[in-house]
Amino acid sequence: MKRFYKAVTSAAENDRFAIQLDGRPVKTPARNPLHLPTSALADAIVAEWEAQGEDIDPVTMPLTALAQGALDQVANERERILGRITAFADSDMLYYRADENQQALTDHQVEQWDPLLDWARQRYDVSFTLNYGIRHQSQPDETVKRLSDAVHAQDDFALAAMLSMVGLSGSLIAVLALLEGTYDADTLWPLVNLEELWQEKQWGRDDLAVAMREVKQAEFNAAIRFLTLSRT
């Protein structure tokens, strides 16, 4: 799409902040007003629109896309989105360990992942059932409930960010640790890519895999930034 506007601004409207192009309000694909919870997030989205050249490239506007998701999807399909996120309470990647034929990898997972699980055990007063191999092992009902309750407590903008982050990381516990401020992105990203990084160390670098991981990391960091700005 060709750029059709010159000026991008934000304007306070009650307790929200609207984005305007040449004085006209921006709407989401579902025709909802692009109303944002904080001036910090509005300013960052203004910067995305201002940075566009002759053509508008949605790929370079991740904050706008996440805001649209919060307003169009989460607000109207909250239960469905909650279900997609809370499904990871029963299938978090941190529960799955290498089998007995890969003891060195198992030991590495214990060293790197167990502190994160220990944090979750104490924070939410839960227990976990670890699985060695790829066969699914259900978690205790109370564990699933308490982790799910933590998700249900989030607002629509936080859920939009969380949906992206759990999809990219495979770990609800890692995302909750980010929300709580217990872990930062630089610490967590290697943890949720532990097996891929392990294989890379054993067998050498795969340039395509590295490139794909870098794309995912940029999306992960954008979701974290969106979450932070929506609370600032």
Average predicted confidence (pLDDT) for the chain: 96
Residue 71 included in any domain? no
Residue 1 included in any domain? no
The answer to whether residues 94 and 19 belong to one domain is no
How far from the centroid of its chain's Cα atoms is residue 210's Cα? 20
> Which residues form the domain of 42?
8-58
Decide if 190 contacts 197 (C-beta within 8 A). yes
- Maximum C-alpha span of the chain: 64
DSSP 8-class letter at 138: P
pLDDT tens digits for 103-136?
999 999 999 999 999 999 999 999 999 999 878 8
What is the per-residue burial (b if ≥16 Cβ within 10 Å, else e) of 196-229?
Answer: eebeeeeeeeeeeeeeebeebbebbbbbbbbbeb
Evaluate if residue 21 carries a pLDDT over 90.
yes
Question: In DSSP terms, which residues pair with 8 in a beta bridge?
Answer: 21
Write down the residue that tokens 């989030």 correspond to.
Answer: 154
What is the per-residue burial (b if ≥16 Cβ within 10 Å, else e) of 165-178?
Answer: bbbbbbbbbbbbbb
The answer to whether residues 165 and 193 belong to one domain is yes
Q: Is the pTM of this model over 0.85?
A: yes
The answer to whether residues 178 and 141 belong to one domain is yes
DSSP 1-42: -B---S-EEEEEETTEEEEEETTEE-B-TTS-B-EES-HHHH
Percent of the chain past pLDDT 70, that is, above it, reads: 100
The CATH code of the domain that includes 180 is: 1.10.3580.10
Number of domains in the chain: 2
pLDDT tens digits for 134-176?
788 899 999 999 999 999 999 999 999 999 999 999 999 999 9
The answer to whether residues 86 and 116 belong to one domain is yes
